[in-house]
Amino acid sequence: MAVGADVLDSITRAVSRERLVDTALRLCEVYSPTGSAGEVADALAELLRREGFAVERPEAGWPTAPAVVARLDTGRPGRTLQFNGHLDTVHLPFVKPALRGEQITGSGSADMKAGTGAAVEALLALRDSGVLSGGGVLLTAHDLHEAPWGDGSQLDRLIDDGVRGDAALIPEYLCDTLAIAGRGQATYRATIRRAGLPVHEVMRAADDPNVIAVGAELVRRIVAWNEQLSGDHDPVAGCQSAFVGQLHAGEIYNQSPSECWLEGTRRWLPGMKAAEVEAEFRRLVDGVAAASRTSIELRYQVVRDAFRLPLEDPLVAAFDRAFVATGRQPLPRGAKRFVDDGSSFWARAGMAAITHGPQGGGAHTLEEWVSIPELVRVAKLYAATAVEYCSQ
Ligand SMILES: [Zn+2]
């Protein structure tokens, strides 16, 4: 079904700016660093129950903060559109929410509790207006999103357990591009160790491995490897890369340390297998260790897999039409520079997932803000997309 002027009118009347702002403030006023989003999840569940929804709370591997799941089902044939948000915030000091003109400020306002509030408002508006003629909407909210404290495993588990729609919308703060491809990302820490304790340099055995030299060799190999990888290029997502961000060893100038460590990232392209990317890295590290008589422990964490939006999926056309219906031109296509939950939907279930949310700023800082008119726009857009997408 298409969103005509009458349907858009109904949606516009049903979206309540006041209720949306209340929801966003309610979510933002609960401190919820990654791993500890239980209390804010309870608050969201309570809010949805008060609105009459039968809320499910699957633990999905994280009993500290069971996920929040609510459904709006028309009971008629059609597709299910999922609205998905994370309720956790990065581990920075808590900044209480506040209203500042046309903005909400505070921890999680941009990333992404207010956006999740806009998705909730879209759900309520669809229910109140009755404009959804088929299919349904699934709302999911979860913890464990932000790396390195979270590993995305709670959402992974929901997807694997079938708590998912046919396609998903994610109200993160990306709003000026429709991201159609993005690189996967892992972080690593390689720790090089030799036998024995740190000693004064004049006391060490002549054939003792020098962990700093081994660290330097590992850096040299990774930099050379990155050179090679940069030739492997996706027209949208960009290049593969292997990056070193820090290198540490030693305490004073004349002590021979027994340990050296380095950290960085590895990024790869859509279509590659994350496990093979990791195995290749391990071979490189093992080669350096074997040649140096040191041990190298590689801690390697896949943050999210690579991402592609299947442009032929009906979600894409529905989203574009909803954009036009709500008075805008369809967004230009581009890269997703950061990894997000869209990668999980695509890599684990082959689902189309569009990341689009309210304009905001200061994510991962103490100065977060989100635009209230943008929250209202996103609530209408999500409702209109559901109307376009769900009824076949
Ligand atoms: Zn986020």
Kindly tell me if the per-residue pLDDT of 354 is higher than 80.
yes
Assigned architecture for domain 186-304: 2-Layer Sandwich (3.30)
For the chain, percent of residues with pLDDT exceeding 90: 95
Kindly tell me if the per-residue pLDDT of 172 is higher than 80.
yes
Give the dihedral sign, CA 278/221/248/198. Answer: positive
| d(CA 86, ligand 1 centre) in Å | 7
| d(CA 7, ligand 1 centre) in Å | 31
| d(CA 140, ligand 1 centre) in Å | 14
| d(CA 172, ligand 1 centre) in Å | 6
Q: 289: pLDDT confidence band, cut at 50, 70 and 90?
A: very high
| d(CA 116, ligand 1 centre) in Å | 10
Task: Give this prediction's pTM.
Answer: 0.91
The fold of the 5-182+306-390 domain, in CATH, is Aminopeptidase (3.40.630)
Measure the CA–CA gap between 185 and 187, rounded to whole angstroms.
Answer: 7
| d(CA 92, ligand 1 centre) in Å | 14
Residue 295: beta bridge partners?
193
Reading the block at residue 379, the tokens are 């609530």
Q: What is the length of the chain?
A: 392
Range 62-79 burial, b when 16+ CB lie within 10 A, else e: beebbbbbbbbebeeebb
What is the pLDDT averaged over residues 352-360? 97
Tell me if domain 5-182+306-390 and domain 186-304 are identical in fold: no
Residue 234: beta bridge partners?
238
pLDDT the model gives residue 206 = 87
pLDDT the model gives residue 147 = 87
| d(CA 297, ligand 1 centre) in Å | 30
| d(CA 192, ligand 1 centre) in Å | 34
Question: Cα-Cα-Cα-Cα dihedral of 137, 140, 145, 150, to 10°?
Answer: -150
| d(CA 118, ligand 1 centre) in Å | 14
| d(CA 113, ligand 1 centre) in Å | 8
| d(CA 35, ligand 1 centre) in Å | 14
| d(CA 90, ligand 1 centre) in Å | 9
Kindly tell me if the per-residue pLDDT of 1 is higher than 70.
no
Q: What is the pLDDT of residues 31-53, one digit of tens each?
A: 999 999 999 999 999 999 999 99
Kindly tell me if the per-residue pLDDT of 356 is higher than 90.
yes
Secondary structure (3-state) at 35: coil
| d(CA 198, ligand 1 centre) in Å | 42
**Is the separation of the CB atoms in 309 and 180 below 8 Å?**
yes
| d(CA 85, ligand 1 centre) in Å | 8
Q: 4: pLDDT confidence band, cut at 50, 70 and 90?
A: confident
Measure the CA–CA gap between 319 and 382, rounded to whole angstroms.
Answer: 8
What is the pLDDT averaged over residues 319-336? 94
Mean pLDDT, the chain, rounded, equals 96
| d(CA 200, ligand 1 centre) in Å | 48
**β-strand pairing of 259-268 with 184-193:** antiparallel
| d(CA 364, ligand 1 centre) in Å | 9
CA 29 to chain centre: 21
- What is the secondary structure of 54-99 as a DSSP string? --B---TT-TTS--EEEEEE-SSS--EEEEEEE--B-SS-----EE
| d(CA 112, ligand 1 centre) in Å | 5
pLDDT the model gives residue 263 = 97
Q: 89: pLDDT confidence band, cut at 50, 70 and 90?
A: very high
Nearest CA to 306 out of 345, 356, 264, 354 is that of: 345
pLDDT the model gives residue 331 = 95
For the chain, the domains span 5-182+306-390, 186-304
pLDDT the model gives residue 292 = 94
Q: 392: pLDDT confidence band, cut at 50, 70 and 90?
A: confident
Amino acid identity at 23: T
CA 96 to chain centre: 23
pLDDT the model gives residue 220 = 98
| d(CA 203, ligand 1 centre) in Å | 52
Number of helices followed by number of strands (H, E) in the chain: 10, 20
Reading the block at residue 31, the tokens are 């401190």
Measure the CA–CA gap between 199 and 129, rounded to whole angstroms.
Answer: 75
pLDDT the model gives residue 87 = 98
Kindly tell me if the per-residue pLDDT of 144 is higher than 90.
yes
Q: What is the pLDDT of residues 266-283, one digit of tens each?
A: 999 999 999 999 999 999
